Chains A and B, each alone.
Chain A
């Protein structure tokens, strides 16, 4: 059991109440360059949802706008029914929205344990709760348990990815945003990480997963959105998307 809030995990249950996360007409970009154009999507509590699409499509930008590491230029973000569009990133973390960034971005000069504890930085609950979550993360990733005092910068890529996921979980997120878990990692390592994500999901954490590897992403997620050129090009159930010819054309333009 990791980072869960006791909600029953697994299949999507769209019925009843507002979605956990709603993105409406989101515009975002960098400097003069607009990357996202009116993106609308939603994630329900307990779901695992995939964002797929070729490189440069805007997937990472979308996650950054959701976690608040870049501002939204237009549109609205609601989390648990409340408008978070103007909220600082740390306030979003405190509300239960954690971001596992692309390329891991662990604190190289800090130990594994320190990195994980940083994930709980915004928490105001009891110390032993945090300690219990730390134990859960270390149980989820036994490789990290053996390396708690090692500097994160000296870890392998796969271990650093474990630290990044674990750090996200230490914030006790309702929603975990995961960007390109598989980046630069060997297939066997990716498989192990995916299994961990599946475990986190079935323990009750809602997941929004960005991934270039379509099959891997849609195996974990119940449904997905295909992002192309900064817009939602296609959406549907994972099964439906995998069977659709359109997904290939959304990636390859033909």
Chain B
């Protein structure tokens, strides 16, 4: 049984489908990269999995249990954590307190008491390299450190499935490399990962498989190398004219 199953999922905004009749399954332990041109439906898909948005049609299952129709915090409690493209730390709190909140409220079986949550926070902060900044107010963090914090908050939930939405946006080349390594380390801890990323080299480098969305539909799913050679993917990214030229062997 796959860890996550998405079956015939559609989400419309007004009449406009953002995700349409989408099906795929993610086995436990995988890093699945999600790519697609602007407006392909990538973030909407993460919003559907984490139930920030209800599906219009279709079913999503996590560990065999249907999650469609459940509240976001219930799904989080089942072990589905996510990060956001626009990070919004709790501004009045320190770095450690921000992460502890994830452990106190996000973990399975109702979360941890304060002291245990702090211990988890410290462990996670060391893991993402934010240990020395634990006592700092979050407002003093650089963008790269805020991305680390976003990841740490999600990890403090000790999730089985981690949804990452553009954690590398705004990072420089060195920081991207570091983030790639960190995602792989998280994965080696046994956490399954769905990752949206615009930095193609990065996502192609760390993903076991790549799901390509275009206008809300799945146009390819497979190994990075196969996906990058797929005519439909080339057409979606480089345009119809270019794809036709490639097919003609020019």
Task: List residues of chain A with CB under 8 Å of any chain B CB.
Answer: 29, 32-35, 37, 54-57, 187, 212-216, 219, 228-229, 242-243, 247-249, 251-254
Q: Which of B226-250 contact A (CB under 8 A)?
A: 227-228, 233-234, 237-242, 244-245, 250
Given A54-B198, A248-B234, A253-B203 in contact, is the A32-B225 Cβ separation under 8 Å?
A: no
Contact flags B176-206 to A (C-beta < 8 A → 1, else 0):
1000000000000000000000111111110
Note all chain A residues with C-beta closer than 8 A to B201. 228-229, 253
A219, chain B: closest CB distance, angstroms: 8
B142–A32 contact, CB under 8 A? Answer: yes
CA distance A30 to B3 in the complex (A): 38
A254–B172 contact, CB under 8 A? Answer: no
A29–B170 contact, CB under 8 A? Answer: yes
CA distance A24 to B172 in the complex (A): 18
CA distance A216 to B37 in the complex (A): 17
A-B contacts, 10 of them at CB < 8 A, read A33-B143, A33-B169, A33-B170, A54-B237, A213-B241, A214-B242, A215-B241, A252-B233, A252-B234, A253-B205
A32–B203 contact, CB under 8 A? Answer: no
The answer, yes or no, to whether B224 is at the interface (CB within 8 Å) is yes
A55–B37 contact, CB under 8 A? Answer: yes
A248–B228 contact, CB under 8 A? Answer: yes
A213–B242 contact, CB under 8 A? Answer: yes
Output the nearest chain B residue to A243 by Cβ-Cβ distance. B250
Q: Which of B104-146 contact A (CB under 8 A)?
A: 142-143, 146
A251–B225 contact, CB under 8 A? Answer: no
A138, chain B: closest CB distance, angstroms: 30
Note all chain A residues with C-beta closer than 8 A to B173. 37, 229
A254–B198 contact, CB under 8 A? Answer: no
The answer, yes or no, to whether B66 is at the interface (CB within 8 Å) is no
The answer, yes or no, to whether B38 is at the interface (CB within 8 Å) is yes
A253–B202 contact, CB under 8 A? Answer: yes
CA distance A242 to B245 in the complex (A): 9
Output the nearest chain B residue to A231 by Cβ-Cβ distance. B173
CA distance A229 to B250 in the complex (A): 28
Given A54-B37, A55-B37, A213-B239 in contact, is the A32-B170 Cβ separation under 8 Å?
A: yes
Note all chain A residues with C-beta closer than 8 A to B202. 253
A231, chain B: closest CB distance, angstroms: 8
B178, chain A: closest CB distance, angstroms: 15
CA distance A216 to B238 in the complex (A): 10
Output the nearest chain A residue to B238 by Cβ-Cβ distance. A214
Note all chain A residues with C-beta closer than 8 A to B199. 229, 253
A212–B200 contact, CB under 8 A? Answer: no
CA distance A34 to B228 in the complex (A): 27
CA distance A12 to B234 in the complex (A): 29
B142–A251 contact, CB under 8 A? Answer: no
Note all chain A residues with C-beta closer than 8 A to B227. 252
Note all chain B residues with C-beta closer than 8 A to A35. 170
CA distance A27 to B200 in the complex (A): 21
A242–B242 contact, CB under 8 A? Answer: yes
Note all chain B residues with C-beta closer than 8 A to A243. 250
B240–A213 contact, CB under 8 A? Answer: yes
B137, chain A: closest CB distance, angstroms: 15
Note all chain B residues with C-beta closer than 8 A to A242. 242, 245, 250
Most-contacted residue by chain B among A35, A228, A229, A253 (CB, 10 A): A253
B185, chain A: closest CB distance, angstroms: 21
A46, chain B: closest CB distance, angstroms: 25
Given A34-B170, A35-B170 in contact, is the A252-B242 Cβ separation under 8 Å?
A: no
What are the nearest 10 A-B pairs in CB distance? A215-B241, A253-B200, A213-B239, A33-B170, A56-B198, A32-B143, A253-B204, A254-B228, A253-B201, A252-B228
Note all chain B residues with C-beta closer than 8 A to A249. 228
Note all chain B residues with C-beta closer than 8 A to A34. 143, 170, 172
Given A248-B238, A254-B225 in contact, is the A228-B200 Cβ separation under 8 Å?
A: yes
Given A253-B202, A254-B225 in contact, is the A216-B239 Cβ separation under 8 Å?
A: yes
A124, chain B: closest CB distance, angstroms: 39
B16, chain A: closest CB distance, angstroms: 12
Contact flags B197-221 to A (C-beta < 8 A → 1, else 0):
0111111110000000000000000
CA distance A82 to B239 in the complex (A): 37
Note all chain B residues with C-beta closer than 8 A to A214. 238-239, 241-242
B38–A55 contact, CB under 8 A? Answer: yes
Most-contacted residue by chain B among A57, A212, A243 (CB, 10 A): A212
